[in-house]
Chains A and B, each alone.
Chain A
Amino acid sequence: MTPPRVHVDRDRCIGAGMCAMTAPEVFDQDPGDGLVLLLDADPPPAHRAAVRMTAGVCPSGAITLHDPGPGTP
């Protein structure tokens, strides 16, 4: 089963830092403009729960997950 792919939209990002705080293995903030940087679009299973949480708490809807199909953990 293919894992969900993570997508970030820097145009929507407001640089609150929720992602870099919640899943620092997967997201960071650009040291210049503070906006989201995606470190890993296909995070390993260990980080998936944090990534889902991050997509849920992102204040500006800049992080989306694309589930390739049902049954992914």
Chain B
Amino acid sequence: MTASESVHTVTAMPTARRPGCPFDPPAELVEARRHGPLSRFVHPGGKPGWLITGYDLVRSVLADPRFSSRKELLNVGDFEVPPAPPGEFLLMDEPQHSRYRKPLVGRFTVRRMRLLTERVEQITADCLDAMEKAGPPVDLVTAFAKPIPTIVICEILGVPYEDRASFQEQIDTFMGGETTDEELVAAYTATQEYLAGLVAAKRAHPTDDILSELTDSDLTDEELRGISLILLAAGFDTTANMLSLGTFALLRHPDQFAALRDDPSLTEGAVEELLRYLSVAKTFMRTALEDVELDGRTVEAGTTVVLSYHTANHDPERFADPHVLDVRRPYGGHLAFSHGVHQCLGQQLARVEMRVAFRALLDRFPTLRLAVPADEVALRPETADIYGVKSLPVTWDRTAS
């Protein structure tokens, strides 16, 4: 058998997970990993590519400057992909990427984010108070998982309070994975218009927030709009889904829920384990700038590879019993925030939010449980960029007082 015959092929991205296993990667991807870290792949647009599911290989591609994040290089179908608009640096390479990331880095350091702990605790307590008044039962997504990261990122960026609801709705439209192209374009245009107004307002009347600070630089209005969009889009939906899907996962593993509830010292490790286990930002793509040898194969220049962070984070060669949620698992360098120069800018913020929010939720509602059978919890389709639950009805015992 020749080498080219022995390589495993995945002909399409799986569209569903196995019933009853809402947290594991789709069976086809787990199967692909069993055959090896690299599989041949056909992009939805018909172009041939590669799919990478092995932890070590995903990590090395992410660290390799021969692989590009540039949007216009995506080679997935017979159509031109426009470059990322100014400021949207997630889909750019150096030196453009640094131009935007550099001025932000000092504002998202471990120390600066830890200083936000008290404020996040207060926002979380307000949400929990409202939950207690409204229920039980309540939908944890609308009462808890969405408002916390929304309020936090809007405060950091400087989005006025009264604008937040409409904003959240537009972002939901982008990220839900179930909208028509027209709806998507409408939501995108509305967001762009809103942000243009916001940037102009900050230039005219600077307030105490990142966007106002950034107006004092050589970044243009258009660039500031792009940066704001990416911070908002990356900041809400990921964290919100970690909170809601993470709670669902804990409720489905009562021993893990109890362990975390009863021992606050497990909180930081539990957050890392939930990040690994859930990997809500499931896949990203890179395009080869030159021919690159990977695992004994040649990825030709111009070919786009799909990297499954979720499957890599469930790679049995890296993580023992990878499909087991274990809040005591030692930190193992998961890829939930990616690796390489695009590793999540907001990760230290997200960590503070998740540590505070999970801790406070379990402290406030030690008897928290699902209010519907687990198989009735509506999950996002596998086609959504960010995985999660659509709603999570929960209930608890009222404390006699």
- A interface residue numbers (CB < 8 A to B): 14-18, 20-21, 24, 28-35, 53, 56-57, 59-61
In the bound complex, do residue B333 and residue A33 qualify as a contact, i.e. CB atoms below 8 Å apart? no
Q: Is the CB of B106 within 8 A of A30?
A: yes
- Give the B interface residue count (CB, 8 A): 25
Q: A15-B106, A34-B108 are in contact. Are A59 and B348 (CB under 8 A)?
A: no
A-B contact pairs, 16 of them (CB 8 A): A14-B105, A14-B341, A15-B105, A16-B344, A21-B348, A29-B109, A29-B110, A31-B106, A31-B111, A32-B106, A33-B102, A34-B105, A35-B105, A53-B333, A60-B341, A61-B63
Write the chain B residue with the least CB distance to A56.
Answer: B333
Q: Is the CB of B105 within 8 A of A60?
A: no
* Chain B binding surface SS class: loop
Closest chain B residue to A28, Cβ basis: B111
Q: Which partner residue on chain A sits nearest B106 by CB separation?
A: A34
Interface contact tally, CB-CB below 8 A:
64
- Give the Cβ gap from B113 to chain A, nearest Cβ, in Å: 8
User: Ordered nearest first, which 5 A-B pairs have the shortest CB separation?
Assistant: A15-B105, A34-B105, A34-B106, A59-B343, A29-B109
Q: How far, in whole Å, are A60 and B101 apart by their CA atoms in the complex?
A: 14
Is B340 touching A20 in the complex (CB atoms < 8 A)?
Answer: no
Contact A59 B341 (CB under 8 A): yes
CB-CB nearest in chain A for B338? A59
Kindly list chain B residues whose C-beta atoms are within 8 Å of the C-beta of A16.
337, 343-345, 347
> In the complex, what's the smallest C-beta–C-beta distance from B143 to chain A, in angstroms?
30
Residues of B within 8 A of A24 (CB): 110
Pair B339/A21 contact, Cβ less than 8 Å: no
Give min CB distance, B119 to chain A, whole Å: 19
CA gap between A33 and B106 in the complex, in Å: 4
Q: Chain B residues with Cβ under 8 A from A18's Cβ?
A: 343
CB–CB A57/B109 < 8 A: no
Across the interface, A59 reaches (CB within 8 A) one of B101, B105, B112, B339, namely B339
